[in-house]
């Protein structure tokens, strides 16, 4: 009998840490959006190298206030970065924003006409109002 009570209390403690969908319940802490890039849609790379004419894959973990639903790609030219493209992110986004504390993805085929070199993707975080960046090299 005592074992049954301990098991029930343990299950209840675990259940209070997760919402009805199984997603961890937010502790109320604020967090900013994180952006990751890869040349492969299946995993994130530390220093992604993307071949011109192929896709760059963007993975976004939205912050506690969400993010904008569009990503921008810039040519990294020192202080004078030039915007090369803008595109919309996918799931968990609607209209101009992506929902808070979710993961969304996007992909963009880089034109073969782009110069080889360093680029970055920027997504605006709604909490800070600033762009969060991730870099990649086009070869």
Q: What is the mean pLDDT of residues 123-129?
A: 96
Tokens representing 68?
């904008």
Structural contact between residues 136 and 121, judged by C-beta atoms closer than 8 angstroms:
yes
All structural domains of the chain, each given as residue ranges with its CATH number in brackets, are 31-138 (2.60.40.1930)
CA distance 69 to 13: 36
DSSP 8-state assignment for residue 40: S
Q: Residue 6: what pLDDT? A: 44
* Measured CA distances, 85 to 31, 74, 108, 114, 124 (Å): 27, 7, 9, 11, 15
- Judge whether residue 31 has pLDDT over 60: yes
Q: What is the mean pLDDT of residues 62-76?
A: 94
Q: Which of 13-17, 42-46, 73-77, 95-99 has the highest mean predicted lDDT (pLDDT)?
A: 95-99
Q: Residue 81: what pLDDT? A: 74
Q: Residue 69: what pLDDT? A: 96
Q: What is the mean pLDDT of residues 92-120?
A: 94
Q: Residue 119: what pLDDT? A: 94
Q: Residue 76: what pLDDT? A: 82
């Amino acid at each position: 009998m005592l074992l049954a009570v301990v098991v029930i209390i343990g299950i209840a403690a675990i259940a209070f840490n997760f919402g009805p969908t199984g997603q961890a319940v937010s502790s109320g802490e604020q967090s900013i959006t994180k952006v990751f890039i890869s040349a492969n849609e299946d995993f994130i790379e530390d220093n992604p190298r993307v071949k011109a004419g192929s896709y760059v894959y963007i993975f976004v973990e939205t912050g506690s206030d969400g993010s904008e639903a569009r990503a921008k790609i810039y040519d990294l030219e020192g202080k004078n970065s030039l915007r090369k493209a803008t595109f919309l992110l996918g799931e968990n986004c609607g209209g101009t924003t992506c929902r808070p504390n979710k993961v969304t993805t996007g992909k963009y085929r880089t034109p073969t006409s782009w110069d080889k070199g360093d680029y970055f993707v920027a997504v605006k975080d709604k909490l800070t109002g600033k762009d969060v960046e991730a870099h990649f090299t086009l070869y």
